[in-house]
Amino acid sequence: MDHFLYRDGVLHAEDVAIPEIAAAVGTPFYVYSTATLERHFKLFDDALEGLDHLVCFAIKSNSNLAVLRVLGNLGAGMDVVSGGEYLRAKAAGVPGERIVFSGVGKTRDEIRMVLQGGIRQFNVESEPELRAISEIASELGVSAPIALRVNPDVDAKTHEKIATGKSENKFGIPIAKARAVYAEAAALPGIAVVGVDVHIGSQLTELEPFVAAFTKVRELTLALRADGHDIMRLDLGGGLGIPYERSNFAPPLPVEYAGVIKSVLGDLGCEIEIEPGRLISGNAGIMVSSVIYLKQGEGRDFLILDAAMNDLVRPSMYGAHHDIIPVIEPAPGTEAQPFDIVGPVCETGDTFAKARAMTPVGPGDLVAFRSAGAYGAVMASEYNSRPLIPEVLVNGDQFAVIRARPSFEEMLGRDSIPEWL
């Protein structure tokens, strides 16, 4: 469920009409619903009731400070994968003890920064990283809490570019090596072993891969405890999918996902951490664009929008689907016709959909891309010297710009020409 609904024939974000926002900020733009963000976080938090737990939002899905503040105010932790994301979490008011630092390539500068600023734990992805953390923590005279990310070699049955739990993926330590690496960690200075971490991928639409991965984590936890390690925390990652094609299927619900956690791991007495991103923010946002032209081609018609692949790269990068709907609701019985929906960027890959059935729209009309709150604005670029598009947050009948569109002067001002030119 989200809070983007037609009212009197006009698409609204909560109690704000989308055309009102478009008139104020111009198109294209992203808009997020506070109510949806809050609802989706609470679905996870409530589903884990009865277990000691922390729901850490995966910042990589949407890193806007206002979005992070909404979730942080609810008690969310944050899962970060860079020093910049760590600083965003702190700037949004989330304390270090609720921040988990993941990622395969943590630099020494990043490790030092978060050890000085406070961190809940490092999810360690390799032996060299473990040794670097030990060295830096020892220099600073602190103890670094760590969980080793294990790679369980489980097929998440998701897109190959977002699968992370198979043996050929770059993530984690092979689970067969885990006991040896934990033994090394326990012997290193400045290291405090606190748990086990696993994350098998994103946009999972079945529960079976979670069952397989969590079962392996259970077996490893019991073995590590037998080896003398005090495993008190299990970080289970995120990955639960959302229905990008709403008429197609319904992925598992957070309560069903939590049921798997409780049945497989609930008797271990561990604190549970999960790191959802997409399911919290994905359906909490839409991207709104204007039609520039209708173009008749050879055997196909094109709907040319003012949004492009640099604004929403998922269709070009992953072949991803987003439902695209008119902001003004079509009259009942209005016939749809197929369009290739494209942007103005000088790339054939700047295509959002091919032969997509759309009810008639014309130049200047608004369309909305559903399920664009995750991996949308956060992956945007200024390719073709197109300014980053605004982000807007709605709360009831209020809205505010939470990232402004830069002017061309601001864009050009970031470059500098050497004196010799």
Give the number of other Cβ atoms within 10 Å of residue 161's Cβ. Answer: 10
Which conformational region is residue 119 in: left (phi greater than 0), alpha (psi within -120 to 50 degrees), or beta?
beta
Contact between 370 and 325 (Cβ < 8 Å): yes
* Residue type at position 200: I
- With tokens 């269709």, the residue in question is 315
Tell me whether strands 391-395 and 301-305 are parallel, antiparallel or unpaired: unpaired
Cα 33 from Cα 395, distance rounded (Å): 7
Cα 240 from Cα 324, distance rounded (Å): 22
The two three-digit tokens of residue 327, written as one number: 């902001």
- With tokens 């608004």, the residue in question is 366
Catalytic entry in 226, 250, 346, 421? 346
Task: Name the DSSP class of 143.
Answer: -
Cα 324 from Cα 118, distance rounded (Å): 42
Give the number of other Cβ atoms within 10 Å of residue 250's Cβ. Answer: 9
Report the sign of the C-alpha dihedral through residues 23, 28, 34, 39, in that order.
positive
Using DSSP, state whether 100 is helix, strand or coil.
Answer: strand
Edge to edge, the sheet with strand 16-17 lists 4-7, 10-13, 16-17
The two three-digit tokens of residue 64, written as one number: 């806007």
242: Cβ–Cβ under 8 A, 6 or more apart, which residues? 203, 251, 278, 279, 282, 283, 371, 374
Judged on CB neighbours under 10 Å (0-12, 13-18, 19+), 397 is exposed
Cα 291 from Cα 305, distance rounded (Å): 4
Task: Assess whether 56 carries a catalytic annotation.
Answer: no
Among 60, 3, 12, smallest CA distance to 37 is for: 3
φ, ψ at 142 (rounded to 5°): -125, 170
Just list the catalytic residues. Answer: 346
